[in-house]
Amino acid sequence: MEFAADIWGIWQLPSLAGLDWAAGPGGAILLLIALALDWLIGDPRWLPHPVRLMGAATAFLDARLNRAKRGAGERIMRGLLAVLAVLALSALAGWAVANFIGALPFGWIAELVLVTLLVAQRGMVSHTVRVIRALKHDGVAGGRKAVAEIVGRETAELDEPGVARAAIESCAESYSDGIIAPIFWYLLLGLPGLMAYKAVNTMDSMIGHMTPQYRAFGMTAARLDDVLNLIPARLAGLFLVFAALFVPTANPPGALRVMLRDARFHRSVNAGWPEGAMAGALGLALAGPRHYSGGTVNDPWIGDGSAKATPKDINRGLYLYVVACLINAMWVAAIAMVRFSL
């Protein structure tokens, strides 16, 4: 019985991430299992995804609070209320799962499922592989259709290098806000922190745009997302630089140099760090002018290389992404080992 109690105590450690405001290594044990499960099974389509619920809540509040006839000041306040509502409900749901459901026998599995769904490693690999296959079998038209699933820009007029750059940039940005940032906030604040971050990130992707419709209403979501990604984005850039050491065709010094030099030129205060590291590692020029539904963005290029990216470059970028994911798992494992040793 004592042995069984000890084993149960070990399984309880991850669920304490929600009780301790600083989750720390206890949550790392469960997180490591979640990372492995994500690589094995990805996001099963039959399983309800929490991000869809966050998106539905955002769409509901957008439809009812964001009216064109209202002034900018009022729309900013309504956008603030919308963000606070979705963020609070998401964090509360995470806290309830970690503390109430997690207290039940095998209740930690509920937290494990949520963490597995909210840390997206395999999903980006699957999407990127579809872009590569589409370019190979269906040409530029197929590549445009496939890459449209993972980017917000207009893809109808992209040529092959444009499709390739969009896929590579998505890998870099997804590594930051789809993997490093969720892990960062989970380790720091437990499941409530992870859920709160995903709520803000989801709202930013839906309403955090500089268009007449969302410039005011989505301001809070966009600014808060920038703040929450400040540290994770820079960590992501450094991990990509380190990963370049283990990719034969990558250039680690170039990755570090371009990231430190060009990150500030990106229109996003955060995306330039992982994209700069990716551009330098692959010897490409990324970012640059892009077309969105709201108009053309004439951003400077990031990197010293050619903008003529190819499907082979997408493969190289995906290789770098996967190696960076493995490095990320290694430091999570190190945190878990430290927790066990205490």
| pLDDT attached to residue 276 | 96
Question: How far is Cα 7 from Cα 277, in angstroms, rounded to an integer?
Answer: 42
- Six token digits for residue 168: 């590579």
| pLDDT attached to residue 340 | 67
* Coil vs helix vs strand at 84: helix
CA dist list (Å): 309 to 255, 315, 335: 16, 11, 37
User: Among the listed ranges 130-139, 218-227, 292-301, 304-313, which one has the minimum average pLDDT value?
Assistant: 292-301
Name every residue whose Cβ is closer than 8 Å to that of residue 169 and which is 6 or more positions away in sequence.
151, 275, 278, 286, 287
Name every residue whose Cβ is closer than 8 Å to that of residue 9 and which is 6 or more positions away in sequence.
none
| pLDDT attached to residue 104 | 75
Rounded to the nearest 10 degrees, the angle between the axes of helix 160-174 and helix 272-282 is: 120
- Six token digits for residue 324: 């960076």
Ranges of each domain in the chain: 13-341
| pLDDT attached to residue 67 | 84
CA dist list (Å): 76 to 18, 194, 200, 273: 31, 25, 16, 29
Residue 10 has pLDDT above 50, yes or no: no
Q: What is the pLDDT of residues 18-54, one digit of tens each?
A: 434 333 335 788 899 899 999 988 778 778 889 999 9
Q: What is the pLDDT of residues 221-272, one digit of tens each?
A: 999 999 999 999 999 999 999 999 999 999 999 999 999 999 999 888 999 9
Most confident stretch, 25-29, 102-106, 209-213, 328-332: 328-332
pLDDT band at residue 11 under the 50/70/90 scheme:
very low
- Reference 164, options 191, 136, 186, 184; nearest CA is 136
| Average pLDDT of span 203-231 | 90
- Reference 177, options 205, 210, 149; nearest CA is 205
Phi-psi region of 287 (alpha: psi -120 to 50; beta: other; left: phi over 0): left
pLDDT band at residue 106 under the 50/70/90 scheme:
confident
| pLDDT attached to residue 124 | 92
User: Among the listed ranges 12-16, 131-135, 168-172, 218-222, which one has the minimum average pLDDT value?
Assistant: 12-16
| Cβ proximity of 196 and 204 under 8 Å | no
| pLDDT attached to residue 329 | 93
Count of residues in the chain? 342
| Average pLDDT of span 194-223 | 91
pLDDT band at residue 335 under the 50/70/90 scheme:
confident
pTM for the full predicted model: 0.87
| pLDDT attached to residue 15 | 41
| Average pLDDT of span 5-27 | 40
Paired sense of beta strands 286-292 and 295-302, if any: antiparallel
Residue 7 has pLDDT above 60, yes or no: no
| Cβ proximity of 230 and 121 under 8 Å | no
Mean pLDDT computed over every residue of the chain: 86
